[in-house]
Amino acid sequence: MNTDAISNGVRTGTPDFAPDSTTSDPCRELRDEASLGDYGGILRLRARLQPDRLAYVALSNGEDETARHTYAEFDAEVRRLAVVLQRAGATGGRVLLVLPSDLGFTIAFWACLYAGATAVTAIVPTTREQMRRLGTVVADARACCVLCTESIRERLEPSLDLPPGVSWIPTDALPDSDPADWIRPEIGWDDLALLQYTSGSTSQPRGVMVSHRNLLRIGEYQERIFRLSPEDRVVTWLPQSHDFGLMYGVLQPCFTGFEAVVMTPMAFLKRPMRWLSATRRHAATVWLAPNFAYELCVEAAREHGTADVDLSSLSLVVNGAEPIRRATYERFVETFGPCGFRARALTNAYGLAETTLGVSGTPRFEHHRCLTLSRHDFVEGRAVDARPGGNVLDVMSCGCFGADLDVRIVDPATARPLEPRRIGEIWIRGAIVAQGYWERAEDTAETFGARLADGTGPFLRTGDLGFLCERNELHITGRCKDVIIVNGKNHAPQDIELTVEGADPSVRPHCGAAFSVDHGGREVAVVAVELRRECLPGLDLDEVGRAILRRVALEHQVPLGEVVFLARGGCPKTTSGKVQRRRVRQMYLDGALESVGRHLGPTFSGQASA
């Protein structure tokens, strides 16, 4: 089979397996602000013009189909719950969604739109820290009610201190309601549709205010960037409480008119082969996931084999939400090429909650690039192509952005735009940029109100570092606040983390954090990394630590002060799978990291850790 090898970072081949782009969509010409009235009008339009077309399919355990809804059936379920919300006085208020990522969540989100309420998405807490965070979100959003299941209510009610007047509404024990009793609320495109609380490492999560118009514009933008078609079909396990999963498990399928097959994140994480099997059974054309998910698929295939895997239907496979690695692409293509997978289906994307979701992406069937850069120039803030035999690093392109989006690379110290291949902060303005942070005027002004030195603006300051190449492709290099400065040189932590992963086979991939601490008035780099459970018995931690110190010193000229070894699950991550470096750093400083061992470098030898 044609696997379209990745050669010099460029995919080759012809797009001979595209969905039928000529398929007519009876809703396309009516998807405008005047016709729809609000974003809920997207679903109402589909239910009116395509009542019998299949919309959503639920796989309860990632394998068995437990429910499927046409647009007419789904619209009726949404109206039924929206009636309950309206009777509870939720119109104009905030409704907290604490539900599993399944069809129940999908119905609940659309019901909030129908009821004229603002949805506040949250993960179902399983740890004390997640429970604390949920309580913070409830108080900050001033939610009027909580949508959950009866079992979740019984588990949370004793621990979650709800303010007076906040009611629980279990979606699996709803009072009787008639969809015909639904009353269209008086809301407009500038009203809030969603409060998306950031999942980063800050102690106080901030609610990103997303309007109905933001949702409409991001739907148009994503459809155009990735050339989405009504003939597409997505199989997704992404958490719907996070913007990535919300867009492609809940919103974009209805906007474009393609079918969504949904399984829970846990179903995938427990057995990644379920995603592969569901793709074959449902002939999926679209996948979206963070980098680690593709690594898990490769590991699962090596363990269980690929005899029953067929990925020939996939034509758009998007990698986003965390650092994208070339080695992952190569392993994935090598593993699944014999299963019909075509390398030119691979594409990259970059986005954030503050832009509703996406900023850039590699269009379907167009090549993406991986630049091999000089590490010496990179730490000086320049993206220079490497010479043969030099110290190099790979940086994947995250694609291009639409003409209606203004993206600048800016020197954060001077607010002056930088020329191509100079690394700076990414600033953005356009219709997909959200309205700001909920009831945080100062944070909103600082983040959403930035202006260039000549007064041009306002721009959204993303806090992300990157550069543009000559082809106007965006490359992401890290976070401003995560940069490690050693001896006056800037080092990207994810670059050091990748080196650590390759230093010893006992290191668990994608589960480490590099950061810096003050030691005697100097900034010193430290690494905390999880170890594979099966490698721990009899493992010589000092030997592993020495291997990590040597590799980092050789490739980065960075002397590590200490390597902290963590057990599985010891490295905290966001809901989208990103390592929370600042939180790891604070836990390190507080002595709160649960380590299974440590190895001191020369700087810290014989002394207590900072």
Exposure b/e, 556-568, CB count within 10 A at least 16 = b: bebebbbbbbbee
**Chosen CATH of 31-225+239-257 out of 3.40.50.12780, 3.40.50.720, 3.40.50.1950, 3.20.20.120:** 3.40.50.12780
Instruction: Please state whether the peptide bond connecting residue 158 to the residue before it is cis, i.e. omega within 30 degrees of 0.
Output: no
Summarised one tens digit per residue, pLDDT across range 430-488 is: 999 999 999 999 999 999 999 999 999 999 999 999 999 988 899 999 888 888 888 77
Rounded Cα distance between 494 and 450, Å, is 27
The list of the chain residues with pLDDT below 50 reads 1-18, 21-22, 201-202, 606-610
Rounded Cα distance between 430 and 125, Å, is 34
pLDDT for the residue numbered 193: 98
pLDDT for the residue numbered 65: 92
Question: Quick check: 464 and 352 in contact, CB under 8 A?
Answer: yes
* Class of CATH domain 271-480: alpha beta
Name, in order, each residue with C-beta under 8 angstroms of 151's C-beta and a sequence gap of 6 or more. Answer: none
Rounded Cα distance between 106 and 46, Å, is 16
Cα separations (Å) of 434 from 155, 357, 473, 560? 34, 10, 23, 40
The full set of domain ranges for the chain reads 31-225+239-257, 271-480, 483-600
Rounded Cα distance between 257 and 73, Å, is 15
Rounded Cα distance between 565 and 544, Å, is 10
Nearest partner of 146 among 192, 191, 108, 197, judged by Cα: 108
Cα separations (Å) of 53 from 257, 356, 369? 9, 27, 38
pLDDT for the residue numbered 567: 87
pLDDT for the residue numbered 4: 42
pLDDT for the residue numbered 14: 36
pLDDT for the residue numbered 133: 87
- Asked whether this chain's domains 271-480 and 483-600 adopt the same fold, the reply is no
User: Is 280 in a helix, a strand, or coil?
Assistant: helix
pLDDT for the residue numbered 5: 38
Rounded Cα distance between 258 and 246, Å, is 15
Rounded Cα distance between 104 and 250, Å, is 11
User: Is 247 in a helix, a strand, or coil?
Assistant: helix
Write the CATH number of the domain with boundaries 483-600. 3.30.300.30
Local structure of residue 422 (DSSP, 8 states): B
Summarised one tens digit per residue, pLDDT across range 569-590 is: 899 887 667 788 888 998 999 8
334's tokens: 């090598």
